[in-house]
Amino acid sequence: MNTIFHLAFKVKNISSTKQFYNKILGCPLGRETTDWVDFDFFGHQISAHVSDTIPPLDYCGVVDKIKVPIPHFGCILQEDQFDILKQKLKTNNVDFMIPPQTRYADQTGEQKTMFVLDFSNNPIEFKCFIKKAEVFK
C-alpha cells in the first residue's frame, strides 16, 4: 500500500467547503460532522475543520520570481488531470490567484502550475511535472 498523506486545515463553514472540494474539484466526501469534513483529495485525506480564525495570506515565498502564499497545500497531478482540472476551475468561475503557467521551462523540474483559493481563502497549488522523475530534483 502506498503511503497516504493527511492534512487538517481551517475553513469558514462546511457547506461552502463541500461546494468547493466536492462539487468543483470532484473530491469524494468522507466522514463529516457539523464541525469538520473529510475529503479524498486525489488519493490523500484532507480534513476541513470549522474555525473563526482563518489566518491572513502571507506572500513570503518566491518561486521562479513569483510571490507565492506560504503556507499552501496542493497536489502533483498527471498532465491530463492538470488540464482537466484547469478547465473545471475555469468553467466554475474560480479565480486563479496565480494563473496556469509553466515554471522552469526547458530546465530540470519543468512543471505546469496554478494557484487558487478555496472558499475559506486557503491557497491551493496544483501542478504537474513534465518529467515525473524530476519531482525532487
Angstrom CA distances, 32 to 37, 102, 112, stand at 4, 37, 33
pLDDT of residue 131: 93
The string of pLDDT tens digits covering residues 49-77 is: 999 999 999 999 999 889 999 999 999 99
Q: Is the pLDDT of residue 1 over 80?
A: no
Q: How far is CA 12 from the centre of its chain?
A: 17
pLDDT of residue 2: 83
Lookup result for grid cell 464541525: 35
User: pLDDT tier at 100 (50, 70, 90 boundaries)?
Assistant: very high
- Phi and psi (nearest 5°) for 94? -85, 125
Angstrom CA distances, 12 to 16, 97, 124, stand at 8, 19, 16
Q: What domains sit in the chain, N to C, each tagged with a CATH number?
A: 6-50 (3.30.720.120), 61-134 (3.10.180.10)
Total Cβ atoms within 10 A of residue 5: 13
